[in-house]
Structure 1
Amino acid sequence: METSAVEKQPETTTEAKEAPSVVRTKRIMVAIDENDSSFYALQWVIDHFSNLLLTTEAVEGGILTVVHVQSPFQHFAAFPAGPGGATAAVYASSSMIESVKKAQQEASTALFSRALQMCRPKQIRTETIVLEGDAKEMICEAVDQINVDLLVVGSRGLGKFKRAFLGSVSDYCAHHAHCPILIVKPPKEMTK
């Protein structure tokens, strides 16, 4: 009768032990721009999550995705023309458009260079993404497209009045991103 008790064990127990465990790589996204508060947030992630992001021989670490969103270039500007106050659209030349795009590309390269230098000492696996459009909307779209586990953004410390008129990327992302979000506020001496 003892053998029948052994025979009644479910077969799934053996299969569960043999099946390889699937561990999805963790992905943390940090949004950066020209403000020091975004680089403070990046450094905060490096200091506090480097063990989660570090890849060793035994463990596949996570990925730190650094994203920068460029404002789209407006190809025209409206200027008042004539005595009646009518406006006319003036279109930018192709050389001006190329010049602006080159300047944006150089600015993004400089930002990413700074970010990668910050990550290098901890040997964090990092990828960079440049997007174009409205920063808050593009960040939330990127979160969905690449399945981010945690979004980290800096806070510029805008007051209620400025935030109401200028809008806040961190505030928008906190309400619209489909993942946990961490808003890192810099120390008070940085915001002055």
Structure 2
Amino acid sequence: MAEKQVMILAADDSEHSAYALQWTVEHFFAPFGSNTPFKLVIVHAKPTPSSVVGLAGPGAAEVMPIVDADLKKQAARVSEKAKEFCASKSVKDVVIEVIEGDARNVLCEAVERHHASVLVVGSHGYGAIKRAVLGSVSDYCAHHAHCSVMIVKRPKTKH
């Protein structure tokens, strides 16, 4: 039997990420049981404490360990939620990785390391101004990842 292709899914603690995981599992894994052509690798990019705190000023040395502990707790929560969701849908061929760094670089490097054929990212739905200021992980990955990139968008809610 041929080795399964690798699908990488970007995970963070946002609703957009949770929706992307749900949509991906329901469309690519749950209907096929163990016969899915993909191995799922869920990657959480844990920011570095210095990137969260910004430019270090007086007192930064005392704050860094606290920020790092919070980031580790957040990464553990993201991992546990993803693991629980996959288990609830009987998805067994899944690996969860937490890698420290900027999400754009972490995801593109994970694609290379795993020889992934698909990268799945959720869309935060930023407008042009927020995207220009914050940067778009999905946009960056669409241009730099060496595989197909699927951007999962939440449906618009009807009023």
Q: TM-score, normalising length from structure 1?
A: 0.72
Q: Which runs of 5+ in 2 are unaligned?
A: none
Residue 120 of structure 1 is matched in structure 2 by 87
2:68 to 101, 105, 127: 101
CA 153–72 in structure 1, closer or farther in 2 if over 3 Å, else same: same
Q: Secondary structure at the match of 1:66?
A: strand
Structure with the larger RCO, 1 or 2 (CA within 8 Å, 6+ apart):
2
Residue 64 of structure 1 is matched in structure 2 by 40
1:92 to 46, 53, 61: 61
CA distance in 1, matches of 2:79, 2:56: 34
8 Å CA contact 2:30–2:90 kept in 1: the answer is no
Higher helix share: 2
Q: Secondary structure at the match of 2:157?
A: helix
Letter matched to residue 140 of structure 1: C
Residue 121 of structure 2 is matched in structure 1 by 153
8 Å CA contact 1:69–1:135 kept in 2: the answer is yes
8 Å CA contact 2:29–2:36 kept in 1: the answer is no
8 Å CA contact 1:26–1:53 kept in 2: the answer is no
CA distance in 2, matches of 1:53, 1:98: 44
CA shift, 1:122, in A, is 2.6
Letter matched to residue 180 of structure 1: S
Q: Secondary structure at the match of 1:65?
A: strand
CA shift, 1:76, in A, is 8.1
**Pair 1:24 & 2:6 matched:** no
1:131 to 82, 92, 99: 99
CA distance in 1, matches of 2:116, 2:139: 18
Q: Secondary structure at the match of 1:92?
A: helix
Q: Which runs of 5+ in 1 are unaligned?
A: 1-21, 80-88
CA distance in 2, matches of 1:99, 1:130: 19
Structure with higher Rg: it is 1
CA distance in 1, matches of 2:32, 2:54: 44
Q: List structure 1 segments (4+ residues) > 2 angstroms apart after TM superposition.
A: 51-55, 59-62, 75-79, 96-102
Q: Secondary structure at the match of 1:188?
A: coil
CA distance in 1, matches of 2:81, 2:59: 37
Cα RMSD between the aligned structures?
2.5
Q: TM-score, normalising length from structure 2?
A: 0.86
